[in-house]
């Protein structure tokens, strides 16, 4: 009889082990192949930094930072003709930088700040109508500024 009573006490404990495990996470959303588009709200970012860091950033942006790139040379000759060529070029192309440099005994006029050879070839193709003898030269170029998209020495576009 004690065996029978012991069986009745332990049997329900064994049956409880056969129940499914509890669910800890249940998703109320259905899965779709197209994500929901949420509206974006413009925000505001306040950068708090030391005064010395601000001063260092201002000095860094004021300096020129040349890097290797390409320009298109359109003129090689005496100073007076080089300056006239630059003036004429800037009148017709005010948004493109033009640089005069001297390599004894000639002055040279170089156009553009192209980081890749491909961009320099496109510029050369555009300039070839007015300057048939232009050619691509490797040079130290200036980086475009993030705010204006122009190089620091290029003139501002006129309206």
Q: Is residue 148 part of a domain?
A: no
**Whole-prediction pTM:** 0.55
* Poorest-pLDDT segment among 7-16, 21-30, 130-139, 150-159: 150-159
In the numeric block, the tokens 């009148």 are attached to 91
Question: Could you please report the per-residue DSSP string of 114-158?
Answer: ESSHHHHHHHHHHHTTT-TT-EEEEEEEPPPPTTTSS-TTSPPPP
Q: Is the pLDDT of residue 151 over 70?
A: no
Q: What digits encode the pLDDT tens for the residues 16-51? A: 555 666 676 666 666 566 666 667 778 888 888 889
pLDDT of residue 17: 53
- Within a domain: residue 43? no
The continuous run of DSSP H or E covering 8 comes out as: helix 2-16
Sole residue written with tokens 């929901």: 36
**Is residue 80 domain-resident?**
yes
Structural domain containing residue 118: 66-141
Q: Residue 153 above 60 pLDDT?
A: no
Residue 34 domain-assigned (yes or no): no
Cα-Cα-Cα-Cα dihedral of 52, 66, 93, 81, to 10°? 120
Question: What would the DSSP string read from start to end of 32-45?
Answer: -SSPPPPPP-----
Residue 126 belongs to a domain: yes
CATH of the domain at 122: 3.30.70.1070
Let me know if residue 59 belongs to a domain. no
State residue 41's pLDDT score: 74
Q: What confidence score (pLDDT) does residue 70 get?
A: 96
| Eight-class DSSP state of 17 | T
Task: Give residue 29's pLDDT.
Answer: 60
Looking at the predicted structure, is the pLDDT value of residue 157 above 50? no
DSSP string for 48-109? ---HHHHHHHHHHHHS---EEEEEEEEEEE-HHHHHHHHHHHHHH-TTS-EEEEEETTEEEE
149: left (phi over 0), alpha (psi -120 to 50) or beta: left
Contact 69, 114 (CB under 8 A): yes
pLDDT tens digits for 86-133? Answer: 999 999 999 999 999 999 899 999 999 999 999 999 999 999 999 999
Instruction: Examine the pLDDT at 13 and tell me if it is beyond 70.
Output: no
Residue 88 lies in a domain: yes
In a domain, 8, yes or no: no
Q: How many domains, in total, are found in the chain?
A: 1
Say what the pLDDT of residue 16 is.
58
């Amino acid at each position: 009889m004690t065996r029978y009573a012991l069986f009745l006490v332990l049997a329900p404990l064994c049956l409880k082990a056969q129940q499914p495990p509890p669910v800890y996470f249940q998703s109320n959303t259905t899965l779709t192949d197209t994500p929901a588009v949420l509206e974006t709200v413009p925000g505001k970012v306040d950068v708090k930094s030391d005064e010395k860091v601000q001063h260092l950033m201002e000095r860094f942006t004021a300096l020129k930072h040349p890097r290797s790139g390409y320009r298109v040379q359109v003129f090689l000759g005496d100073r007076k003709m080089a300056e006239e060529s630059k003036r004429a070029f800037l009148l017709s192309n005010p948004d493109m930088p033009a640089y005069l440099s001297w390599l004894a005994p000639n002055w040279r006029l170089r156009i553009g700040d192209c980081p890749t050879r491909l961009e320099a070839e496109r510029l050369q193709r555009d300039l070839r109508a007015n300057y048939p003898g232009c050619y691509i030269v490797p040079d130290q170029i200036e980086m475009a500024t993030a705010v204006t998209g122009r190089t620091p020495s290029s003139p501002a576009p006129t309206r």
